[in-house]
Chains A and B, each alone.
Chain A
Amino acid sequence: MKLTGAEIIIKTLIEQGVTDVFGYPGGQVINIYDALYKYSDQINHVLTAHEQGASHAADGYSRATGKVGVCIATSGPGATNLVTGIATAMLDSIPMVAITGNVPCSLIGKDSFQEIDITGITLPITKHNYFVNDVSKLADTIREAFRIARSGRPGPVLVDVPKDVQVATYEFEEKPIAEKFPLPIADDAQINEAVELLNASERPYIYIGGGAAGLGMGKEIIALAEKLDAYIGCTFMGLSAVNNDCDRFLGMQGMHGHYASSMAQKEADLILAVGVRFSDRATGKVSAYARGTKVIQLDPDFAEINKNVKVDVGIIADVADAFRRIAAGVTAHKHPEWHEKVDALRALEAASDKEVRRRAGDRLIPQVVFDIINADKPAKTIIATDVGQHQMWTAQYADFDGPRRFVSSGGLGTMGFGMGAAMGAYVATGDPTVLITGDGSFGMNLNELATAVSYNIPLVIVLMNNGVLGMVRQWQTLFFNKHYSNTVLDRKTDFVKLAEAFGAKGVRVSTPAEFKKAFDDALTAGGPVVIDTLIDKDEFVLPMLPPGGSIDDIITKVEK
């Protein structure tokens, strides 16, 4: 069957199992959009307000499902608008295929209208990328792009297709979904080494990262923790791997981690790190991290072993397989002293939490916002966030009841990620989706409200509005003598009217009772609702490790 390049692109997407794509048309992708028109019964296209929104939507789609998210943009500015979204996916190892149009080959290199070297631009932020100048290679290139995106440690792949290649015709033959490259399998000697260390450990800590969060291994992780009498902590990207109702789960550790989780990791004599890359935000000062603690690291990416932290046993492996073999090998243990230690840490954390609540009285503080969200959100709710204080409060206080229900930009920390990502997650799953955002982040990509309204995506948007760029302000308070340089927004934006102008609902709240009512109403509103949630500008994210500091420098309270 002879097809045009544009049709080959869409047919190959369909062949690779793609049912939804996000994008924005333009001069050099008109042919691709014509093919989308032709195959609209087999593939759904969501038109975003901005290409950046499309890239974040593809990313959110992938985070919520594990499937490869797909976005499409035209050449030049269309392609460059994808860049932040691609980089976000790269830093968090999210499988994505981005397809861009480019000017015809005859115009390449001539600074033609909307011509940009997008493969050059995205070289350091893609797992791999392609410039396809030959229609005969188009289908196989897209197949390989999917294969690379989803194999091993996943990541984004960009395919740039000049206009003339979209127009040219070539024989197309459907092929099966490209299989993943096989993952490395750990050898028995290393598994045994890990098992011996775990059996000898008195204070074991299972440390879950993004490489394990999406595997749906929550029950197995808890089972191993029970067998070893270990505690479980996680990185930011490891959230939602283990349900919060597990009493061995101490929550996120690191710069803004739970006190008990960070301290228990410090006190542990052994860390079993599963799909963790030891980011600087998780370790704090790396020279002081895990001193005197043995570390076992499981990761499919050989370059992650010993990259940031020198480990005792580095196992390059299919994480799930290695984890299961280790779990099968260890014997049952009891560590009452370890419990006592961790219980004491938890008591300190609980006391501090109680004190924060006591001081707040009946003010609406972040903790209370999350009490209400946790109590009232339906089962299977996905919580997406933007970036800043609200994101860290989500990481600290939100409860998750299954994997892939936390959608947030970790490595790149992309403000403006939330709207696109939340829509992508909803399109992928149809599950209740709550976006926690801030007035800073929301301001970056609130144009996507238009998309949510057009497609009737019932996002509950909890806009934690403190009138400041709170995370930077917090640093300015603590480390820059309260010089609030350019972090006081004090904008006159009326978010309720703004929501209404977009055709969404808007409501402003400032007390716990108002918030509860608004949140409950929003869940059944049947369309996007912005809850303008007024909070104090000097709420802090605590605890906090100061930048460059270690766990010994932990800040647990700030006198205002």
Chain B
Amino acid sequence: MSNKSNEFVIAIYVDNQFGVLTRVTSMFTRRGFNIDALTVGETESPEYSRITISLSGDGYAREQLINQMKKLFNVKKVEVLEDNASIKRELMLIKIYNKPENRADIHFAVDAYRAKVVDYTTDGMCIEVTGDPTKIDAFVELMKPFGIIEICRTGIVALERGTTSLLSK
């Protein structure tokens, strides 16, 4: 997903209220935008939640999306997080088969990706990986030959580099 050249990530501050997430996602449906990933959580201010959305689209779609988003009354800030000026991270839990003949390869991969084995049984293991979405994608590719049982990804969280704060911008 993160290899698409027209993918972009936007950060949105919204009122921390009942139903606001629905308002945002309903707008996406209504205007025909397709979300690749969405995360939402508390922020430094109890009044606001922060939504991070990654999606693909051309310049027109990007402009439209931001304009339509800004029209929602519970949306306080919308910002595109440009690749070179922001940190993007994602967390993944991946469950794979633990076959003796693959064990060593898996451990090498876990080391190389600074991942962690967080559950281990004689026939399966669960690995936690954190990083840039491209790194997560690569790790998934790497694990495919060993037999993936289940994957759960959080979607991107992202912050701008430096000392800026979106809310006070």
Whole-angstrom distance between the Cβ of A306 and the nearest chain B Cβ: 7
Q: Is B108 an interface residue (CB 8 A)?
A: no
Closest B residue to A302 using CB positions = B67
Q: Are A123 and B68 in contact (CB under 8 A)?
A: no
Q: How far, in whole Å, are A371 and B157 apart by their CA atoms in the complex?
A: 65
Q: How far, in whole Å, are A303 and B60 apart by their CA atoms in the complex?
A: 12
Chain A residues contacting B73 (CB-CB under 8 Å) are: 128, 148
Q: Are B63 and A306 in contact (CB under 8 A)?
A: yes
Q: Are B64 and A123 in contact (CB under 8 A)?
A: no
Chain A interface residue number, banded:
10 to 19
Chain B residues contacting A378 (CB-CB under 8 Å) are: none
Whole-angstrom distance between the Cβ of A317 and the nearest chain B Cβ: 15
Chain B residues contacting A148 (CB-CB under 8 Å) are: 73
Closest B residue to A303 using CB positions = B67
Chain A residues contacting B88 (CB-CB under 8 Å) are: none
Whole-angstrom distance between the Cβ of A200 and the nearest chain B Cβ: 28
Q: Is B71 an interface residue (CB 8 A)?
A: yes
Q: Which of A119, A120, A131, A302 contacts B70 (CB 8 A)?
A: A302
Q: Which of B19, B22, B30, B68 contacts A303 (CB 8 A)?
A: B68
Q: Is A497 an interface residue (CB 8 A)?
A: no
Chain A residues contacting B27 (CB-CB under 8 Å) are: 124
Whole-angstrom distance between the Cβ of B23 and the nearest chain A Cβ: 6
Q: Which of A123, A128, A303, A307 contacts B26 (CB 8 A)?
A: A123
Whole-angstrom distance between the Cβ of B22 and the nearest chain A Cβ: 7
| Chain B binding surface SS class | helix
Closest A residue to B63 using CB positions = A306
Q: How far, in whole Å, are A120 and B19 apart by their CA atoms in the complex?
A: 9
Interface string of A104-138 (1 = CB under 8 A from B): 00000000000000011001100010010000000
Q: How far, in whole Å, are A131 and B23 apart by their CA atoms in the complex?
A: 13
Chain A residues contacting B64 (CB-CB under 8 Å) are: 303, 307
Closest B residue to A125 using CB positions = B30
Q: Which of B26, B60, B70 contacts A124 (CB 8 A)?
A: B26
| Chain A binding surface SS class | helix
Q: Are A124 and B30 in contact (CB under 8 A)?
A: yes
Q: How far, in whole Å, are A128 and B23 apart by their CA atoms in the complex?
A: 9
Whole-angstrom distance between the Cβ of B78 and the nearest chain A Cβ: 12
Q: How far, in whole Å, are A119 and B26 apart by their CA atoms in the complex?
A: 12
Closest A residue to B69 using CB positions = A303
Whole-angstrom distance between the Cβ of A542 and the nearest chain B Cβ: 33
Whole-angstrom distance between the Cβ of B24 and the nearest chain A Cβ: 11
Chain B residues contacting A131 (CB-CB under 8 Å) are: 19
Q: Are B22 and A123 in contact (CB under 8 A)?
A: yes
Q: Which of A123, A303, A306, A307 contacts B23 (CB 8 A)?
A: A123
Whole-angstrom distance between the Cβ of A228 and the nearest chain B Cβ: 30
Chain B residues contacting A123 (CB-CB under 8 Å) are: 22-23, 26
Chain A residues contacting B26 (CB-CB under 8 Å) are: 123-124
Whole-angstrom distance between the Cβ of A394 and the nearest chain B Cβ: 30
Q: Which chain A residues (296-328) contact chain B, with CB distance < 8 Å?
A: 301-303, 306-307
Chain B residues contacting A306 (CB-CB under 8 Å) are: 60, 63
Q: Are A119 and B19 in contact (CB under 8 A)?
A: yes
Whole-angstrom distance between the Cβ of A352 and the nearest chain B Cβ: 39
Closest B residue to A131 using CB positions = B19
Whole-angstrom distance between the Cβ of B69 and the nearest chain A Cβ: 9
Interface string of B55-82 (1 = CB under 8 A from A): 0000010011001101101000000000
Interface string of B15-48 (1 = CB under 8 A from A): 0000100110011011000000000000000000
Closest B residue to A304 using CB positions = B67
Closest B residue to A128 using CB positions = B73
Q: Are A120 and B22 in contact (CB under 8 A)?
A: yes
Whole-angstrom distance between the Cβ of A512 and the nearest chain B Cβ: 47
Q: How far, in whole Å, are A131 and B19 apart by their CA atoms in the complex?
A: 10
Q: How far, in whole Å, are A385 and B22 apart by their CA atoms in the complex?
A: 36
8 inter-chain pairs at a CB distance below 8 angstroms, sorted by A residue, are A119-B19, A123-B22, A124-B27, A131-B19, A148-B73, A303-B64, A303-B68, A306-B60
Contact surface of B with A, Cβ cutoff 8 Å: 19, 22-23, 26-27, 29-30, 60, 63-64, 67-68, 70-71, 73
Ranked nearest first, the 8 interchain pairs of A and B with the lowest CB-CB distance are A303-B67, A124-B30, A128-B73, A123-B26, A303-B68, A303-B71, A302-B67, A124-B26
Q: Given known contacts A120-B22, A302-B67, what 6 new A-B pairs fall within 8 Å (CB)?
A: A119-B19, A124-B27, A131-B19, A148-B73, A306-B60, A306-B63
